Amino acid sequence: MPDRTTCVGFLYPGHSAEDDYPRLEGLLGDGVRLPLVHTDMGEDAHRVDALLEMGSIHRLADGLTALSAYEPDVVVWACTSASFIYGPEGARRQVEELAEAAGLPVTHASSTSFAFAHAVQALGVRRLAVAATYPDDVAGYFVRFLEAAGAEVVRVSGQGIITAAEVGTLGREQVLELALANDHPDAEAVLLPDTALHTIAYLDELERAVGKPVLTANQVSAWEGLRLAGYAEPHTGLGSLFRLTDHPRITTGAV
pLDDT tens profile 106-136: 999 999 999 999 999 999 999 999 998 888 8
Rounded CA-CA distance 157/47 in Å is 16
Which pLDDT score is estimated for 230?
A: 92
Question: For 22-44, what is each residue's pLDDT tens digit?
Answer: 999 999 998 999 999 999 988 88
Which pLDDT score is estimated for 1?
A: 40
Which pLDDT score is estimated for 161?
A: 79
Encode 160-197: b = buried (16+ Cβ within 10 Å), e = exposed. Answer: ebbbbeebbebeeeebbebbeebbeeebbbbbbbbbbb
User: What structural domains and CATH numbers belong to the chain?
Assistant: 6-113+218-242 (3.40.50.12500), 116-216 (3.40.50.12500)
Q: 45: which residues sit within 8 A by CB, 6+ positions away? A: 51, 162, 163
170 to 15, 95, 123, 157: CA distances (angstroms): 14, 29, 27, 16
Chain Cα centroid distance, residue 33: 17
Once rounded to an integer, what is the mean pLDDT over residues 213-239? 95
Which one of 156-170, 203-217, 236-250 scores highest in mean pLDDT?
203-217
Instruction: Classify strands 36-39 and 32-33 as parallel, antiparallel or unpaired.
Output: unpaired
Which pLDDT score is estimated for 255?
A: 39
Rounded CA-CA distance 246/224 in Å is 13
Encode 15-36: b = buried (16+ Cβ within 10 Å), e = exposed. Answer: ebbbebbeebbebbeeebbbbb
Residue 213 pLDDT greater than 70, yes or no: yes
Contact 213, 197 (CB under 8 A): no
Once rounded to an integer, what is the mean pLDDT over residues 212-233? 95
Which pLDDT score is estimated for 248?
A: 57
Structural Rg of the chain based on CA atoms: 16
